[in-house]
A and B are shown apart, each in its own frame.
Chain A
Amino acid sequence: MIIKVEMGEGVVSDSPDIITTVGCGSCVILTLYDAVRKVGGLAHVMLPEENPPAPPFAKGGISESPPLKKGDSGGFEYASTAIPSLLDEMFKSGCSRRNITAKIAGGAKMFASYAEFPAGIGEQNVKNVRQMLVNQAIPLTGFDVGGKHGRSVEFYLDSGRVVVKAFSKEDREI
Chain B
Amino acid sequence: MSDTEILTNEQTDYLKELMNVATGNAAAALSQLLQTDVDVTMPAVYTLPPAKLPSAIGGAELPVICVKMRMYGDVTGEMFFIVPEKEKGKMARLAEKAMMGAAPHLKERGVDISAIEEIGNIMTGVYLAAIHDFCKLNIYHSVPAVSIDMFQPLIDELLANMSRGGGEVIVIENVFVIVVESVVAAAGEEIRAFLLMVPSVKSVKRLVDSIKEAMPK
Contacts and interface: CB of A to CB of B under 8 A. Distances in A.
Q: Which residue, of A53, A110, A120, has the highest number of chain B Cβ atoms within 10 A?
A: A110
Given A65-B171, A110-B149, A150-B150, A50 B60 contact: no
B145 A46 contact: no
Contacts of B28: none
Given A54-B166, A66-B170, A112 B145 contact: yes
Interface in B52-100: 54, 60-61, 63, 68-70
Interface residues of A, number: 46
B4 interface: yes
Interface string B128-150: 00000000000000110111111
Contacts of B153: 23-26, 108, 110, 149-151
A26 B160 contact: yes
Given A7-B159, A22-B152, A111 B147 contact: yes
A149 B4 CA distance: 37
A51 B61 contact: no
A56 interface: yes
Contact of B167 (A23, A68, A117): A68
B166 to A, nearest CB: 3
A71 interface: no
A54 B145 CA distance: 29
B174 interface: yes
B16 to A, nearest CB: 25
A62 B167 CA distance: 9
Q: Which residue, of B142, B153, B167, has the highest number of chain A Cβ atoms within 10 A?
A: B153
B197 to A, nearest CB: 16
B147 A62 contact: no
Contacts of A50: 166
Interface of B: 2, 4-5, 54, 60-61, 63, 68-70, 142-143, 145-157, 159-161, 163-171, 174, 201-202, 204-205
27 contacts: A7-B159, A7-B160, A23-B61, A23-B151, A25-B157, A26-B160, A46-B156, A46-B159, A53-B166, A54-B166, A61-B5, A62-B171, A62-B201, A64-B2, A67-B167, A110-B154, A111-B147, A111-B154, A112-B147, A117-B145, A121-B160, A121-B161, A122-B157, A149-B153, A150-B154, A152-B150, A167-B61
Interface of A: 7-8, 22-27, 46-47, 50-54, 56-57, 59-68, 77, 108, 110-112, 114, 116-117, 120-122, 148-152, 166-168
